Amino acid sequence: MVTGASKGIGASIAEHLAAEGAQVVVNYASSKSGADEVVGNIQKNGGKAIAVQADLSKPADVQRLFQETGKKFGQLDILVNNAGIYEFAPLDEVTPEHFHKQFNLNVLGLLLATREGAKLMNGNGGSVINIGSIDGIQVPLLETFASSG
C-alpha cells in the first residue's frame, strides 16, 4: 500500500513496486482520477492494483482502507506512508484549524495507518516506509519569527 499515491512521489513509488511484482493499493484522499490513472498504468504494464479512497486524518477512513485491503489481498507486506501536506503560514496567521489539518494527516494519519498496517501483516513481518520532505528539517516558523522582530 502506498498512501497519497494519486500523484507525484506516491504514484511513482506505487508504479515501481508494481513493476517489481507487488500487488498495490493506491490510496488517495480526493483525486480519484489521478488514482485511477496510476492503477491504469500499473495494469497496462501487467501489474495488479486497486485504488481506495481514504482521508488518513479520519480514523474511520483509515480503518476502512485497511479493511478493503485485507478483503482484496488478505495481508499487507509493505506500507509506504507517503501522504502528507505542508502549508506554510506566518506565525500570526497560524490558527488551530491550520495546525490540526496538518498534524492530523502528517502525524496522526501516519500513526493510524501504521497501526492498522501492522495488523494486516499478520505477525509475518513486513516493511513500513515513512516518506518525509526537506520541510521536516527546516524551521520556517522560527525564521519568520526572527525576521519579523
In-domain check, residue 3: no
What's the domain range around 83?
A: 8-148
Domain CATH code at residue 45: 3.40.50.720
DSSP letter assigned to residue 135? G
pLDDT digits (tens, 9 = 90+) for 13-53: 999 999 999 999 999 999 999 999 999 999 999 999 999 99
pLDDT digits (tens, 9 = 90+) for 52-103: 999 999 999 999 999 999 999 999 999 999 999 988 888 899 999 999 999 9
CA 125, chain centre distance (Å): 20
Whether 77 is in a domain gets the answer yes
In a domain, 1, yes or no: no
Number of domains making up the chain: 1
- pLDDT score, position 140: 53
- For range 111-132, the mean pLDDT: 94
Contact 47, 70 (CB under 8 A): no
Higher per-residue pLDDT: 144 or 13? 13
